[in-house]
Each structure stands twice: as structure tokens, then as C-alpha cells.
Homo-oligomer: A and B are copies of this chain.
């Protein structure tokens, strides 16, 4: 059987490598990108789903509008307003089947084969593959703990004139980095200057540990004249409420939103109305603030425990910046004292010691840093984080 030529652009081996690491029983896993199931507000979601079926069974079970279930769009617009996006209305967003689908729709709508797209180096693995399936030629912009380096980004935009720039500005995956307020504003100015779309993927922004991060680039766009036209924002219920609902959303200017809606119509017609109605009832119930408080508090404890344990167990053999939110530590092997410097080798030794994580190289679209690796503190409790870090110490 002869498959489509677009499949030639994607290699799945990197991903299979990651998943292979997760199988062993008894292992402590820092490998996943999942939130902790134990934190899901099951009772709240049970009530919400019952209410959805009781109050509007037709709406929850019938075909729905491709743009999304209207009561959910209303709730999501209010949710965004509560986070500083003061000028948003329900018609400015569409509901997507997780924010992964928002990425897929942006790829389908925007990328012609051979088009350049700038991403962060490193960036979300599934984004790399998703855009490459549409024929994108990816260019990596370097980052530091304050997010993408704006001078380098401008050079790359000027040189490559990309179809768009894809960023995870707030607690990036895998980087954990937080783009500074100053850089956010500067990038919005670049969007206007070069008339280039900036995609802000924001699944982690609600998961901050101390003070709130700077407002989203979407929220800030009101301060940079002309920039709202050039920003697309992807939101998600997956990290704070439940990934299993597959409820995300895309905010963009009207023409891009209309084209994305058309593409969605032929991708899956619409997102599960049952899941949408459940999410709408949940948001309406008023339980979200307490749920957010709970997950922020628990993840903060785990992140703190991991920062201390890594420093204690691994010392100068690794370097990292403790994240201020999200689910991930991003670290580099320094090779200090002749210790292992290749993250794939380190991952193999770690598995032997009973702890898993993912090497960083696959997260780069170009020029991988083979000494980098990602640790998730989301699904292991504090005890396991301490024990897992000890095993990392033994492995190094």
C-alpha cells in the first residue's frame, strides 16, 4: 500500500523510544506529561455531567455546531476575561478537541508544504510532528529561563519570513520557562512589524506556584496596537480539570477562526457535545477556583521537593532553573567530575535504577542538545520524588 507523501516528513521512532521507557512495573516515573489523576475533581465532574444530561439531554447528545456548544463558549469567554482578556466574546473562540486539535487546525489552515514555521528549541514534541505532517520546514529559536530570546527570534523572522511563530510562553513543555513581560510585549511588536502570526499555546498558564505569571500575550495584545490581529491563542482544560474531556479552545481573528472552523468541520464535525456540556456545567458550578487552588498547591509542593532533592542528590552534575509553574523541570548534564553527559545514556542507567524520565533531544526540531532532559513532578508524590531523585543520584 502506498501512503501519502506527507508521512515521509515524520519519524515516529523518537516517540516510541519515549513510550518504551514507561512500561516497566515498580518504576518511579518522571517521564509522563500527564496531570495527576488523583487531583481530578471527580465528584464535581459527576455532578456536572448529570446536570448536563438532566437539563438539556438533546444538546448534550445531539450533533452540535462546529464552533462549539454555545453555553461552553460563553463560560470560556468569561474564564478568559477573568484572566485579563477583557475584550473577548464567545464568538471570538471555537472549542477544539483538546488543544492538540487547535494545533492541527492551525497547521491545516496555515501551512503549505515547504512553509517555514518558527518554534522554540526545545518545544512540545507533538507540535513538531503535527506541523511537519502539513509539510512545515521548522526553524528553532533558542530559549533561556526567561523564554525565547527575542533578538534571535527577530533575526530568524527577518531571515525566514515564517508562516507563523509557535510559542509556549508560560511554563513551557519541556522547558518550564516563563517568558518575561518585557519579552511578551516585544514579541507582540515584532508580530505587527513583520505582519507575522504568533501562536500562543497556553495549557499550563493556570498552574503557577507563587505569584501569577505575566498576563498571556493575548491579554497583553490590547496594549500593543495592531497586535490582536496577529495572535492566535490555544487554551485547554486538560491540565487543571481533565484531559479525558478533550476540551480545548482556539482564539484568533475572525478570518483565521472561520477557516479553522471549516477545517474542523471536516476533521471531526464538532467536539463531543457531552464533554462540552459537562465542562460548561462545571465552569458554571463555581468549583473551578477551588480546583485551581488545590492543584497549584500540590504541584508547588512537588516542584519544591524536586528542586531540593535534585540539588541534594545530583549536585553540580546537572544544572536547572526551578520552574515557577507547570509540570516540568528541564535540566542539563554538566559532565562535572567526569560524570555522564549524554542524556540517553543517563536515561538507560536511570531505568536500571528504577526511575524513568525522557531525554531532551527529541524535543528539538533542529540541533538537539543531547545533554538535556525533562523531569515531570506531576504524578509522583513527595515521597516518590525524593526516592526517585536518590535513584537518579545512584544512576549518575
**A interface residues, Cβ below 8 angstroms from B:** 1-7, 10, 12, 15, 34-35, 37, 40, 42, 45-46, 49-50, 53, 57-64, 97-98, 100-101, 103-104, 108-112, 115, 126, 129-130, 133-134, 163, 197, 238, 242-246, 253, 255-256, 259, 262-263, 265-275, 277-278
B244 and A4 contacting across the interface, CB-CB below 8 Å: no
Q: Which residue of B lies closest to A132 (CB)?
A: B266
Residue from B37, B50, B262, B274 within 8 A of A244 (CB atoms): B274
Most B C-beta atoms less than 10 A away, residue of A53, A57, A59, A244? A244
Q: Which residue of B lies closest to A128 (CB)?
A: B266
Which chain B residues lie closer than 8 Å to A58 at the CB level?
Answer: 37, 40
Q: A6-B112, A259-B3, A274-B278 are in contact. Are A245 and B12 (CB under 8 A)?
A: no
Which chain B residues lie closer than 8 Å to A256 at the CB level?
Answer: 1, 3
What are 13 A-B interface contacts by the 8 Å CB criterion?
Answer: A1-B197, A3-B109, A7-B263, A12-B262, A15-B265, A50-B50, A62-B243, A63-B243, A108-B133, A133-B263, A242-B274, A268-B268, A275-B275
How many Å from the CB of A355 to the closest CB on chain B?
21
Residue from B34, B197, B274 within 8 A of A274 (CB atoms): B274
* Copies of this chain, tallied across the complex: 2
A100 and B268 contacting across the interface, CB-CB below 8 Å: yes
Residue from B6, B100, B115 within 8 A of A267 (CB atoms): B100
Q: Which residue of B lies closest to A36 (CB)?
A: B62
In the docked arrangement, what's the CA distance between A110 and B5, Å?
8
Most B C-beta atoms less than 10 A away, residue of A64, A272, A277? A272
B245 and A7 contacting across the interface, CB-CB below 8 Å: no
A270 and B242 contacting across the interface, CB-CB below 8 Å: no
Residue from B49, B130, B259 within 8 A of A7 (CB atoms): B259
Q: A101-B267, A267-B101, A267-B267 are in contact. Are A244 and B40 (CB under 8 A)?
A: no
Which chain B residues lie closer than 8 Å to A37 at the CB level?
Answer: 57-58, 61-62
A266 and B126 contacting across the interface, CB-CB below 8 Å: yes
Interface of A (DSSP majority class): helix
A242 and B126 contacting across the interface, CB-CB below 8 Å: no
A53 and B42 contacting across the interface, CB-CB below 8 Å: yes
Which chain B residues lie closer than 8 Å to A49 at the CB level?
Answer: 49, 53, 274
A1 and B244 contacting across the interface, CB-CB below 8 Å: no
B40 and A57 contacting across the interface, CB-CB below 8 Å: yes
B100 and A266 contacting across the interface, CB-CB below 8 Å: yes
How many Å from the CB of A239 to the closest CB on chain B?
10
Which chain B residues lie closer than 8 Å to A1 at the CB level?
Answer: 197, 253, 255-256
How many Å from the CB of A160 to the closest CB on chain B?
15
How many Å from the CB of A182 to the closest CB on chain B?
27
In the docked arrangement, what's the CA distance between A275 and B272, Å?
8
Which chain B residues lie closer than 8 Å to A273 at the CB level?
Answer: 243-244, 246
B53 and A46 contacting across the interface, CB-CB below 8 Å: yes
Which chain B residues lie closer than 8 Å to A269 at the CB level?
Answer: 98, 100, 126, 243, 246
